[in-house]
Copies of this chain bind each other. A is one copy, B any other.
Amino acid sequence: MAKGITSRESDYPQWYNDIVLKADLAENSPVRGCMVIKPYGFTIWEKMQRDLDDRFKETGHVNAYFPLFIPKSYLSKEADHVEGFAKECAVVTHYRLKNSEDGKGVVVDPDAALEEELIVRPTSETVIWSTYKNWIQSYRDLPLLVNQWANVVRWEMRTRLFLRTAEFLWQEGHTAHATEAEAQEETLNILEVYAAFAQDVLAVPVLKGRKSASERFAGAVETYCIEALMQDGKALQAGTTHFLGQNFAKAFDVKFANKDGKEEYVWGTSWGVSTRLMGALIMAHADDQGLVLPPKLAPIQVVIIPIYRSEEQYDEICTVGREIATKLKSHGISVKLDDRDTERPGWKFSEYELKGVPIRLAIGPRDLENKKVELARRDTGVKELVDLEGIDQTVEGLLEEIQKNIYQKALDFRKANTHEADSYDEFREILESKGGFILAHWDRSAETEEKIKNETKATIRCIPMEEDMKEGKCMVTGKPSAGRVIFAKAY
């Protein structure tokens, strides 16, 4: 048990919390439900942002910024949207404070009540579509492919760092199209972008699929998602894309003149991923020693730790350490030489294990003599002596290998934890004993979905897209099913 981290087996939620806190990723703030993202955690998030942002731009999207506040009445303009989002939210009612009469602080100035209350955005469809009304007149103005990186607030009662917080950071794409087909294509294209990012960067395999009606975004015609499996056998929704049809265009009266000069309502999509991905990253890869970071997201990819007894040894080893660091940096590898003499090597070893640094190089006096360094992989724990000569190629190749291995490990885990259930009894048995993704037949009724959820806490994570659907009979009602869907307990 490293540095007081609870083991996964003894208490999984506590293990998660320990990792978040002790690896310096985030902590709770003085404001209920809001987190502070610490520098180490934020650097990982920045790397995610940069990679995703590049992918959005490569696919023709541009960034913009819309207001934090939404007039209360806007939320009511789309009938389903208001049900989903106008409930638990932060409401700004006043715009001024004044000194309290006892002189001991400030109080809300009752004379400064807003005529219409403002909601801190829980998502921005309403304010963005009200803006699009002015941006779109003709088919020449379409498509509009806009994204924003922003903070949003949903007043959650039970919060968990990264997974569910009142304020979180995300990106929200909002696109407008001339045709239904183009909007649908966008929804699926972005789903591919998300899935590729999850696989190539997070090293997390994801299932792509459609949500059932009950799990749809409030205001969407269709919601698609990527779903990942965590080490405790629970699913985590890692990103969603929504085909909005003409719902928001109608709510905000956004029309365009088509090539024939005829007015039509615009078709829309929206899509987002959030700091929740940090939770997925942790729960997919970390172990009882701490974080395990895929090299593409590691703030420090290689740490170099000198092992010495005398000051002379220290100087000699640090000189070599600096040479290695320079060489690695010239390959674009991020390296830290931890030459602090205030901490012992053993302490440093477990510190960088905890922080998930993919490769550790330890250099002792004997290694120097033999022109070797000890290389330890965080993902497998394997240590070996490698030649100082060509260390840059060794490390470069290994970082790629680690990235792949972490993904493969998660993929193997998912395969081992994906099961088919042919009866409701079998379903419940698998759910309780093993968890994981369960493929089972469902009659497509909301009633059956609700019954399963109430009785087992499992929800339909998605209706798969890729696999050939084979007909069958609902495990609960015996009614016809168009194909197996994926159930799991979920975060």
Q: Are A155 and B96 in contact (CB under 8 A)?
A: yes
Q: Are A39 and B64 in contact (CB under 8 A)?
A: yes
A101-127 contact mask (Cβ, 8 Å, vs B): 1 or 0:
000111010000000011110000001
Residue of B nearest to A39 (CB): B62
Residue of B nearest to A38 (CB): B64
Residues of B within 8 A of A131 (CB): 27, 29-30, 36
Q: Which of A87-95, A176-184, A381-389, A447-455 contacts B (4 or more CB under 8 A)?
A: A87-95
Residues of B within 8 A of A75 (CB): 97, 106
* A42 lies within 8 A of chain B by Cβ: yes
Whether A43 touches B63, Cβ cut-off 8 Å, given contacts A106-B82, A131-B29, is: yes
Q: Are B167 and A106 in contact (CB under 8 A)?
A: no
Q: Which of A65-73, A316-324, A372-380 contacts B (4 or more CB under 8 A)?
A: A65-73
In this complex, the member of A64, A98, A118, A131 whose beta carbon has the largest number of chain B beta carbons within 10 angstroms is A64
Report the minimum CB–CB distance from A209 to chain B (whole Å).
31
Q: Are A127 and B71 in contact (CB under 8 A)?
A: no
Residue of B nearest to A34 (CB): B67
Q: Are A91 and B93 in contact (CB under 8 A)?
A: yes
Residues of B within 8 A of A127 (CB): 29-31
Whether A29 touches B67, Cβ cut-off 8 Å, given contacts A72-B97, A91-B95, A97-B72, is: yes
Whether A65 touches B90, Cβ cut-off 8 Å, given contacts A31-B71, A97-B119, is: no
Q: Are A73 and B34 in contact (CB under 8 A)?
A: no
* A433 lies within 8 A of chain B by Cβ: no
Report the minimum CB–CB distance from A332 to chain B (whole Å).
15
Give Cα distance in the complex from A472 to B104, angstroms: 44
Residue of B nearest to A147 (CB): B39
Whether A34 touches B87, Cβ cut-off 8 Å, given contacts A39-B146, A140-B342, is: no
Report the minimum CB–CB distance from A258 to chain B (whole Å).
15
* A37 lies within 8 A of chain B by Cβ: yes
* A207 lies within 8 A of chain B by Cβ: no
Report the minimum CB–CB distance from A296 to chain B (whole Å).
18
Residue of B nearest to A342 (CB): B140
Give Cα distance in the complex from A131 to B39, angstroms: 13
Whether A63 touches B42, Cβ cut-off 8 Å, given contacts A29-B127, A68-B120, A106-B86, is: yes
Chain A, range 39-88, C-beta contacts under 8 Å to B: 39, 42-43, 45-46, 62-76, 82, 86-88
Residue of B nearest to A62 (CB): B39
Residues of B within 8 A of A98 (CB): 87
Chain A, range 462-478, C-beta contacts under 8 Å to B: none
Whether A92 touches B95, Cβ cut-off 8 Å, given contacts A62-B43, A68-B151, is: no
Residue of B nearest to A45 (CB): B65
* A153 lies within 8 A of chain B by Cβ: yes
Residue of B nearest to A150 (CB): B151
* A163 lies within 8 A of chain B by Cβ: no
Q: Are B96 and A167 in contact (CB under 8 A)?
A: no
Give Cα distance in the complex from A134 to B167, angstroms: 21
Report the minimum CB–CB distance from A54 to chain B (whole Å).
12
- 19 more A-B residue pairs beyond the given contacts A91-B95, A92-B120, with a C-beta to C-beta distance below 8 A: A29-B127, A31-B70, A31-B118, A34-B68, A34-B69, A36-B67, A37-B64, A42-B62, A65-B169, A69-B90, A75-B106, A82-B106, A86-B106, A88-B95, A90-B92, A90-B94, A90-B118, A91-B97, A91-B108
